[in-house]
């Protein structure tokens, strides 16, 4: 599994949590069970990425959602397409908390995933939001008391 496929799986799991109302732990356990791996015995780096990204996105969802609402001017979170919302969520998590992933890679992958599961226009929307967030990253990190 490559990183792009891992991100697709993160999106699917977050979608299941968000739309299906499934607890994160159950959604992750189901995913790993479906691919024949015990959730507590994950060693592949992309599978570790999936686990950490889903858990981190869910754990930091309140702060992440407030950032999304701040940058989607005149749009409430519940008006966003579920694909766009969940791509933004885990992309913002990556930007804020995954220093080993280049920000531009995160944005490019977010745009491609959004275009694949939504529309070209939605991809532009996600690109614009993430671009603005990156421009104000220092301010966001200070507000969240991050280095």
Q: Give dist(CA 92, CA 70) in Å, integer.
A: 13
What pLDDT does 128 receive?
97
Nearest CA-CA partner of 90 in 5, 2, 1, 15: 15
What pLDDT does 96 receive?
96
What pLDDT does 42 receive?
63
What pLDDT does 80 receive?
94
- Parts of the chain with a pLDDT under 50: none
* CATH assignment, 3-143: 1.10.940.10
Q: Give dist(CA 117, CA 96) in Å, integer.
A: 24
What pLDDT does 147 receive?
65
- CB of 90 closer than 8 Å to CB of 67: no
Q: What residue ranges do the domains of the chain occupy? A: 3-143
Please give the C-alpha separations between residue 87 and each of 3, 34, 63, 144, in angstroms, as whole numbers.
14, 22, 15, 21
């Amino acid at each position: 599994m490559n990183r792009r496929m891992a991100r697709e799986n993160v999106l699917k799991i977050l979608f299941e949590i968000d739309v299906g109302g499934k607890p994160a732990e159950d959604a992750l356990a189901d995913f790993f069970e479906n691919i024949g791996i015990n959730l507590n015995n994950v060693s592949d780096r992309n599978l570790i990425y999936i686990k950490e990204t889903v858990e981190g996105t869910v754990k930091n969802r309140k702060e992440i959602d407030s950032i999304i609402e701040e940058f989607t001017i005149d749009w409430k979170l519940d008006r966003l397409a579920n694909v766009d919302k969940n791509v933004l969520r885990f992309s913002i998590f990556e930007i804020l908390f995954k220093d080993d992933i280049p920000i531009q890679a995160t944005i490019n992958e977010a745009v491609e995933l959004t275009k694949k599961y939504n529309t070209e226009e939605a991809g532009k929307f996600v690109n614009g939001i993430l671009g603005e967030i990156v421009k104000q990253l220092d301010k966001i990190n200070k507000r969240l008391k991050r280095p």
